[in-house]
Amino acid sequence: MKNLPIKEEPAELPPAVASAFGRRHIQMWILAVGTALAYSCRVNMSLCIVAMTSPESAAGFQTYDWSQQERGYVLSSFFWGYVLMQVPGATLSNRYGPRYFIFIGVAGSGLLSVLTPLAAAWGGAYTLCVLRAVEGLCQGLVFPCVHYMLGRWAPPLERSRSSAIVMSGPSVGTLAAMAGVGLLCSSPLGWPSGFYVPGGLSVLWGALWLWQGANSPDTCTRISAEEREYIQGALGSSSSGSKRLTVPWGKVLSTPCVWAIIVVHSCSNFGHWLMLTQMPNYMKTVLEFDIKDNGLVSSLPYLSLVFTSMLVVWVVKILSDRQCLTIVQTRKIFNSIGHYGMGLTFLTLALLTHLGIQTAVAVALLTVAVSLEAALLVGFLINHVDLSPNFGGAMFGLSNCIGNTMGIVAPLLVSAVVGDDRGQTHEELATGWSYVYLIGGCVYLTGNTVFLLFGRADVQPWNNPQDSLKSSKDEPAERHELLSKVL
């Protein structure tokens, strides 16, 4: 498949086609379900490992006497493979199209999820680490390819809404995994069903995707001619004879606003994976919930996140229709609501955990922190495509690669700061967790400050290959114009 360059100038929108539900919306909603299932296979381990290592929570199924350090390795091992596949995944998507790689990412990780109980029984914690790392390799393909799809299917004026729809999938998947896995682990089916159910559904989704998914409007056989022309006009696509593009990594890496995304992505992922992988542990050791209640209570923040995501989509639609904010203002305002809000919530949680927090207050603060993640859907998470519709997937692969190293760091940090929960008093565990939340709060505040200072949302000159053909005498004027847009 040829990779067609996309220009930044949107065409005038045909109202009837623009407002109608079309093939582009079907692509977005199927992707939302796919990302939800991918996340359910990713986060099920966070709750299953509580049952796998607690005889009182295992409902008669086999348990494992793993230390806090071994549990940290198991929880972080997914990201060993995940971070390695981000840039290659973006490159493969850019060269061959994302359709088959999204299938491998979601359906492949689903199959490996089904095999997880067998791996644990056969080889213990370290064999399980290997399987989870391979599962991470599969899922490392998904989100760079999703960003490619957004760059090809979402007209600029619909991009925030399309991104919010697709990126709400992880919230729904996390909610379903936390609530559903907790119930499954405490049921007669036991903790193995926490891997079988999301894994099997992911494989079934793969069949749906192969039937309905398409790399772009150009290659889609089910799209109407009117909708194809609308999308192509809005994106400014060139003819099918255009050259395949090579990512200009030198120019990408020398752009300050790209590094601003990388920094804020890394800081965001630290807090995200801290909550996602360690919240059930905090619920068990500090708040003292059993496995069934642990799953239900751990899911409450993500239930709230689903509703706040819908609220964000609605608010952004109103702002977009009324043209109240520029794109860069939208990105920075919503990102600040998310990051500064989560940072302050974490600092409050750190203080109250140290003083002896009430269970209801802790759950409320965690719910607020997770809910505020919805604002990031139209913050830095879609900023890659703003800067470069052509190379947004590659840029997301880069920032997601670096950012998801925090998925390795967060569980290991908890192991180092909190220590092994076996043999510690409740007060000692609470003190350790207060330090963890203090670190998380400071990381959130730092990340957004960098994004405010250096973030941008205008299409970069290296997005279009024809820009390189401009004469040198035009470059100073162009540079002056670009600098004048910095906030």
Reading the block at residue 274, the tokens are 């801290």
Q: Which distant-in-sequence residues (6+ apart) come within 8 Å of 483 by Cβ?
A: none
What tens digit of pLDDT does each residue of 281-330 get? 899 889 988 777 888 888 899 899 889 988 988 898 888 788 888 889 99
- Report pLDDT for 313: 81
pLDDT digits (tens, 9 = 90+) for 146-194: 988 988 888 877 887 888 889 889 888 988 998 898 889 888 888 999 9
Q: What are phi and psi of 30, to 5 degrees?
A: -65, -40
Task: Write down the pLDDT at residue 80.
Answer: 92
The answer to whether 119 touches 65, Cβ cutoff 8 Å, is no
Range 247-263 average pLDDT: 95
pLDDT of residue 289: 87
Q: Tell me if 18 sits within 8 A of 399, measured CB to CB.
A: no
Residue-wise pLDDT tens digits, 423-463: 788 899 999 999 999 999 999 999 999 999 999 999 999 98
Reference 339, options 299, 377, 285, 382; nearest CA is: 377
Multiple choice CATH, 247-486, 3.20.20.70, 1.20.1250.20, 1.10.3720.10, 3.60.20.30: 1.20.1250.20
Q: Tell me the HSE value of 248 on the side-chain side, using a 13 A CA sphere.
A: 16
DSSP-based three-state secondary structure for 371 = helix
Terminal alpha carbon distance of the chain: 38
Rounded to whole angstroms, the Cα distance separating 24 from 227 reads: 8
Count of C-beta atoms within a 10 Å radius of residue 91: 16
Q: What is the pTM of this model?
A: 0.75
CB atoms within 10 A of CB 323: 8
Q: Where in the chain is the domain with CATH 1.20.1250.20?
A: 20-233, 247-486
Per DSSP, the residues of 278-301 read HHHHHHHHTS---HHHHHHHHHHH
How far apart CA 341 and CA 379 sit, in angstroms, is 14
Within 8 A by CB and 6+ apart from 451, the residues are: 260, 261, 263, 264, 332, 335, 339, 379, 380
**Measuring CA to CA, which residue among 160, 383, 375, 382 is closest to residue 258?**
383
pLDDT digits (tens, 9 = 90+) for 4-61: 444 444 444 455 555 578 899 999 999 999 999 999 999 999 889 988 988 766 567 8
By residue count, the chain amounts to 487
From the candidate CATH numbers 1.10.10.10, 3.40.50.300, 1.20.1250.20, 1.10.1060.10, the one assigned to the domain spanning 20-233: 1.20.1250.20
Vertex 173: Cα angle to 302 and 126 (nearest 5):
105
The two structure tokens encoding residue 181? 């896995």
Q: At 92, phi and psi to the nearest 5? A: -65, -40
DSSP one-letter code for 372 = G
